[in-house]
A and B are shown apart, each in its own frame.
Chain A
Amino acid sequence: MATGDSTIRPQASTATGVAKVWHAVIAFFTLVLRTNTGRIGLAVVGIHVVLALIGPWITPFPPTEYHIQDQYSSPTSTYWLGTDEKGRDIFSRVLAGARSIIWIATAGTILGVTFGTIVGVTSGYLGGRVDQVIMRIVDWFLAIPSLLLAILVINMATQRFRSVDESFIIIGIIGISFMPNNSRVIRSATLAIKPLEFVQSARLRGEPTLYIMFREVLPNVLPVVGVEATIRLSFALLLTAGLGFLGLGVQPPEPDWGKMVSENAIILDVAPLASLAPGIAMASLVVGINLLADGIRQAQNLPETGDR
């Protein structure tokens, strides 16, 4: 659990909202840039994010456009990474896929970490019976392997709520399946903050419980939340891609990296890049995120927790 002494620093809650966010961003980059691992990770992730953002303006072809006469093309000056079975441009599809997977994984992580932080701080700060009940519920969640839970929920939700966009369903599932582990980590961080003087004095001043939880405790567990979110992001990417690979992600014809790998795996002999390119894109993005997380961990001198 990431509760080393370096992370527990009482913070004055006098700064304004915008200034606080700005400070947090600066602190994050300073931390990341302190180690080589972090620098490389930031560069890799940066390239991915920029490509995903400007993607729609630089794709040579619409990602779902068929060019049947050019199917299974090898890389040429027209099709930079070749084409698939239906003659769709792989380069355009990989670029468009970046956008959807980064959006889904990021939104899902934010949802899960927010949810987990609220549950964790509440459980850890209130303690007693509330804590016990919450932790039992968390245990129930962990009794099913998360991918199995995700598969069952998606199978149900996509058929029952047909009008809802699948990406929102996947975001919701990432949020649900990340909450249990995340709230455990945040709970133990909260337990480390709770006995400190500034929390106790707020209590003796007679501050309302909610105020103490979210204005005194929360700002001081935020560093832990940050590290957690970075690590979770790589699992969110893997989960999204895995669901896509199993055919339970974003539905065709919209490009999805996982789906591209599985549907083109059968034409590996004729057009290897059709499934290799999205696979390599996926792998490099996750490697980048993990390097980033490792860099932050090294800079803060936190131990490796290995929670997945």
Chain B
Amino acid sequence: MARFLIVRLSLIVVTLLAVSVAIFTLIEAVPGDAASVMQGQQATPDSLRNLRAQMGLDRPPHIRYLDWIWDAVRGDLGQSAKSNASISEIMGERLAHSALLAVLAFVIAVPLGLVMGVWVGTRADTKMDRFLTMGGLVTISLPEFVTGVVMILILSSTLGWLPSSSIMMPGESVIGNPKVLVMPVLTVTGALFAYIMRMARANVIEVMESNYVRTAILKGLPMRTVVVRHVLRNALLPTITVIANNVGWMFGGLIIIENLFAYPGMGSLLIQAIDTRDIRMLQSTALIIASVYAFSNLAADLAYGALNPRVRLS
């Protein structure tokens, strides 16, 4: 286990180095640099040269890359070109907000989706099954921003129960305003739940057709025992793999939902950095999102190993 962890962790380091080079290059290739963005219209060739020298932008790209990565590893992400605030501080708060959103949605959607999926999977081809799978397909197909807009229209515009956006006074936190969390969490949960349910159902149906389940039923075990002891473990494994493989897609959904509700997380920070051409902020946000992604993939692998003894031993 320790060995597995060490191998995986060093792989993550290599991957993240490659990803950071890609991010740096993609952002570096955008015309204009931080100095020209900061001075905007008032820039003169002289003032630009001075600012570049002061910010260290006159150094060659590979030196600036190493400088950026070395600082990032020590937890210093530099300063925002727009507000001069420390990026690390802003990032800490935004990351906590996004994590709260993702974890809440996950905690609701995963157990609910698995239970419902197993439940309809053992009742394949009934009316209920057809209704739920069809409903699930429709829910999966809805783009997040459409679900979100419909929700705003109903819960906020018509009923007036919830604020339509998550914009808060400076200094306020999401924890103090649980109301702003409801719609973003529900939007993420909806699609995730339907997806997990369909996957769990498909896998349960497959396992139910296997010989060992037939044997278990024929030897007279109560249906409940068959499902809990024989079906669950074998059906959940592939389901969890599929969920794990789609963490990246969930990240995409989060970016869109945060922007729809102006939720103060990483996804809205990313788009904000692009709109204001805040180069340092954009680099760091992208790097942090990619790192969280790498670690959530590792977490998914660990969960898989915990359920599957064959993986654990190798």
Contacts and interface: CB of A to CB of B under 8 A. Distances in A.
A155 B272 CA distance: 12
A308 B30 contact: no
A204 interface: no
A261 interface: yes
Contact of A303 (B30, B141, B206, B259): B206
A112 B212 CA distance: 41
Contacts of B249: 145-146, 308
Contacts of B290: 143-145, 148
Given A145-B293, A159-B30, A290-B141, A140 B18 contact: yes
A299 to B, nearest CB: 16
Given A156-B30, A245-B259, A279-B143, A142 B248 contact: yes
A152 B28 CA distance: 11
B19 A144 contact: yes
Contact of B271 (A246, A290, A308): A246
A148 B286 contact: yes
Given A287-B138, A306-B199, A145 B30 contact: no
A268 interface: yes
Interface string B189-212: 000000100110010001000000
Could you say which of B140, B146, B242 has the most chain A C-beta atoms within 10 Å of its C-beta?
B146
Contacts of B26: 152-153, 155-156
Given A156-B27, A156-B30, A282-B143, A148 B150 contact: no
A147 B259 CA distance: 14
B143 A155 contact: no
A275 B293 contact: no
Size category, A interface: 35 or more
A261 to B, nearest CB: 5
B274 A151 contact: yes
A286 B137 CA distance: 10
Q: Name A's interface SS.
A: helix
Contacts of A24: none
Interface stretch (A92-100, A186-194, A234-242): A234-242
Interface in B263-313: 270-271, 274-275, 282, 286, 289-290, 293-294
B274 A306 contact: no
A307 B195 CA distance: 11
A268 B165 CA distance: 12
B32 to A, nearest CB: 8
A129 interface: no
A62 B27 CA distance: 37
Given A142-B248, A143-B294, A291-B137, A246 B259 contact: yes
Nearest to B134: A37
Contacts of B145: 241-242, 245, 258, 261-262, 279
A276 B153 contact: yes
Nearest to A264: B149
Interface residues of B, number: 52
A242 B251 CA distance: 13
Contact of B137 (A143, A159, A241, A294): A294
Nearest to B246: A308
B180 to A, nearest CB: 16
Contacts of A238: 143
A249 to B, nearest CB: 12
Contacts of B153: 268, 272, 276
Given A145-B293, A261-B149, A265-B149, A304 B199 contact: yes
B294 A247 contact: no
A160 B27 CA distance: 11
Contacts of A241: 143, 145
B19 A242 contact: no
Contacts of B199: 304, 306
A269 interface: yes
Given A268-B149, A303-B202, A147 B252 contact: yes
B128 interface: no
Q: Which 6 A-B pairs have the closest CB atoms?
A: A147-B252, A279-B146, A145-B248, A304-B202, A306-B242, A286-B141
14 contacts: A143-B15, A143-B290, A144-B19, A145-B248, A145-B289, A145-B290, A147-B251, A159-B31, A160-B30, A248-B274, A265-B152, A276-B153, A283-B142, A286-B141
Interface of B: 15, 18-19, 22-23, 26-27, 29-32, 137-138, 140-146, 149-150, 152-153, 157, 164, 195, 198-199, 202, 206, 242, 245-246, 248-249, 251-252, 255-256, 259-260, 270-271, 274-275, 282, 286, 289-290, 293-294
